[in-house]
Amino acid sequence: MILDYKAIKLFGKPLFTWALVETPMTLLGEMLHNEACFAYVLEGTCLTYTGTEMLKVQQQEAFLSKCGNYTTKLLADEVDGQYSTIAVHFHLEVLHKVYENALPEFLTTKSGNQANNMTKVISNELIDTYIQNIHCYFKYPEYVAEELLILKLKEIILLLLKTTKAPDILAIMHHLFSPKTIELKEIVEAHHFSDLNITELAQLSNRSLSTFKKDFKDLYQDTPANYRMNKRLEKVAHLLSCSDDRISTITYACGFKSISHLSRIFKEHYSVSPSQYRLNLLGK
């Protein structure tokens, strides 16, 4: 549930937004082709998934994301708590006006290979101070002027290009408004063991649930649920045979929610419990 939300606009488009959310909360959405975003976590943890990526961003950390499909899970630091973030939104139309229709070269010159959809930004004192200043604007909106917003937009772009992740950020900047094309197989294989459900995978692939299931069946000759479960069980069996990891560690690494859930499914598939499966291998 969104508890509070505020926006400061530039040229009619949201430039800065602040949100306070009751957790846990899952957001499914698409960032349009002419949009991108820099998000800084004030409180809580953000798990963001794209077709082939996952980022975990915690308090006083940030990430830059380009246009595309996303699934975001918002969590609190405590069991029952809140998540809060400040975001800077990049709209192509706004950037053209800010730079007087002559975008900087790093926003227009494309590198040969498309970059990832997002990258974590290692914050520093300058970025922390920048966010604190933006936070104050929400408290005193009467002091916010168009000229100031233009300067702050240019400032964050320059600050991002001076961080330790500058090469990754520059790569994203080159393709900021060009969606990355990802094949269905890439998405499926990237998220075998994530906690994304089928609906969320369909959204990341830019398909309806029914189309996702049909395309999946055509590709793998199996249902998504059955295929993913078999892949997870295969990994469990592999880790039981070649590692000393505790069964609890293997459980969560393979995408199962609890040991009891894994034990029941594993026994249905292999006719023995995970612990007995490991013992049988050791006895050979």
What domain range is 192 assigned to?
184-282
- Select the more confidently predicted residue: 232 or 29: 232
Specify the higher pLDDT residue, 284 or 4: 4
From CA 4, how far away is CA 86, in angstroms rounded?
A: 12
Banded model confidence at residue 106, pLDDT cuts 50, 70, 90: low
CATH number at residue 163: 2.60.120.280
Domain identity same for 65 and 168: yes
The verdict on residue 90 lying in a domain is: yes
- Say how many C-beta atoms besides its own lie within 10 A of residue 245's C-beta: 12
Instruction: Give residue 107's region: left, alpha or beta (phi > 0; psi -120 to 50).
Output: alpha
The CA distance from 283 to 240, in Å, is: 13
Q: How far is residue 222's CA from residue 202's CA, in Å, rounded to a whole number?
A: 16
Averaged pLDDT score across all residues of the chain:
88
Nearest CA-CA partner of 6 in 23, 24, 20, 27: 20
φ, ψ at 139 (rounded to 5°): -80, -30
Each residue's pLDDT tens digit, 248-265: 999 999 999 899 999 999
- Encoded tokens for 269: 């598939």
Q: pLDDT tens-digit profile of 206-242? A: 889 999 999 999 999 999 999 999 999 999 999 999 9
- Over the stretch 39-74, which tens digit does the pLDDT of each residue have? 999 999 999 998 888 999 999 999 998 877 888 999
> Do 140 and 216 lie in a common domain?
no
pTM of the model: 0.75
Burial 33-48 (b: 16+ CB within 10 A, else e): eebbbbbbbbbbbbbb
